[in-house]
Amino acid sequence: MQLQNNQDMIRKNLHDFLEKYGKEGFLKLYFTNLLFEMVKDEIHTRSDSVKNSPGLQYYFNKEGNYENASKLEEFNKRLKNECMKKSELIVSLVEKKNMISKFGVDLNKITEVLSNEIEKQMKDIFKEVFDVKWGEEVEK
C-alpha cells in the first residue's frame, strides 16, 4: 500500500511540474542534473583533473577531496549554475530543431536508445554546446 501511495505522489508531482514548466522545463532540469553529475564524476575519477586545473585546486586538495564544507557548497552552486546554462542552450537547440515532441515525459523514454536521426541531432547539439567554454555567455 505504501509503495502505491508513493507512486501516486510521484505521478502527481510530475504532472504538476509538467503543467507548470512544460516539457522544456523538464528537459532543462533533466539535462542540468545529468551534466552536474557527469562533471562531478569526471572530477572525482580523474585525479589529473585537479592537478592540472588551478581553478579546481581552489576547491580540492591534492587527493581530489573538498577542502571544506563551505568550498563544497560554493563549488556545487557554481557548477550547478554552469550546468543550467548549458542545459538551457541544449534545450533551445532542441527547440530550434523541432525535437521537443520527440521526447516523452517518461524518464525511460528519454534514456532509451534514440532513433538514429535523433541520436545524431543530439550529438550535434551537445558538440555545439560543449564548444562553448564553461563560464562563457552564449545567445540562445
pLDDT (0 to 100) of residue 85: 92
Per run of 10 residues, the mean pLDDT along the chain (length 140 residues) is 75 86 89 88 66 60 63 84 91 85 59 61 80 67
> What is the 3 state secondary structure string of the chain?
CHHHHHHHHHHHHHHHHHHHHHHHHHHHHHHHHHHHHHHHHHHHHCHHHHHCCHHHHCCECCCCCECCHHHHHHHHHHHHHHHHHHHHHHHHHHHHCCCHHHCCCCHHHHHCCCCHHHHHHHHHHHHHHHCCCCCCCCCC
pLDDT (0 to 100) of residue 33: 92
Q: What is the pTM of this model?
A: 0.66
pLDDT (0 to 100) of residue 113: 47
Map out the domains of the chain as residue ranges: 23-130
